[in-house]
Amino acid sequence: MRVILVEDDAELSRQVALRLREAGHACEVCARGEAALRRLGAADFDAMILDVGLPDMDGFAVVERVRAERRALPVIFLTARDAVTDRVRGLRAGGDDYVTKPFAVEELLARLEVLQRRSQPGPEVSVVRRFGRWVLDPRRRRLRSGDETVELQPRECSLIEVLLAHEGRVLSKRYLLENVWDIRFDPGTNVVDAMICRLRRKIDTAGQASHIETVRGKGYVFHAVP
């Protein structure tokens, strides 16, 4: 993999880069957000490891700019210990994963490899699915209904796929956090509710019941036909 590491702590970035290279990855290091954005514009990378606290701009702003250019580059945030709001903000900004400082480089490496596997589309993810008036194309992360096309963020697309796979069954927020976000702690915020809300705005039809029913105190149920 060709990895761009954006971290202003010189000793930490030296250690991480060394280990990534030992594991067979190419690693380029930037200490500032602007420098990273310039490199991203000039070369192709397979993944980015991004410190939240950079001297010139925060990591969230870097990811927002990457996503604004519609680049699907997998991003792992490096966040401060216990900064739950940072992790959630990072995931909302369009990050794919996070590692909390201080971390074992091996953990970072393992997460990077998971992202790599996930970003290589296997045959199963190109299967087109239908629900209601929509046709879901997970590979292009797109919904179509007649002439109407709705683009989906990677996380929104994963959420629809998980909901579809368990149609008619109640899924808890905890289940969704684990299976859509890979989060195994309580983020203490409404990251799931917020995305369900966003998804409803995209897939529901005015004047009809929602595809995604809220079951108070339990979670959500997906209905192919609301």
Site string for Ca ion, 2-41 (x = CB under 5 A): ------x---------------------------------
Please report how close the Cβ of residue 54 comes to Ca ion at its closest, in angstroms: 6
Please report how close the Cβ of residue 220 comes to Ca ion at its closest, in angstroms: 37
Decide whether 51 or 86 has the Cβ nearer to Ca ion: 51
Please report how close the Cβ of residue 170 comes to Ca ion at its closest, in angstroms: 41
Identified binder of Ca ion from the candidate list 51, 86, 96, 97, rule CB under 5 A: 51
Decide whether 36 or 136 has the Cβ nearer to Ca ion: 36
Identified binder of Ca ion from the candidate list 53, 132, 154, 187, rule CB under 5 A: 53
Please report how close the Cβ of residue 163 comes to Ca ion at its closest, in angstroms: 37
Please report how close the Cβ of residue 8 comes to Ca ion at its closest, in angstroms: 5
Q: How many residues bind Ca ion (CB under 5 A)?
A: 3
Give the chain as a DSSP string.
-EEEEE-S-HHHHHHHHHHHHHTT-EEEEESSHHHHHHHHHHS--SEEEEES--SSS-HHHHHHHHHHTT----EEEEE-TT-HHHHHHHHHHT--EEEESS--HHHHHHHHHHHHHHHS--GGGG--EEETTEEEETTTTEEEETTEEEE--HHHHHHHHHHHHTTTSEE-HHHHIIIII---S--SS-HHHHHHHHHHHHH--TTS--SEEEETTTEEEE-S--
Residues in touch with Ca ion (CB under 5 A)? 8, 51, 53
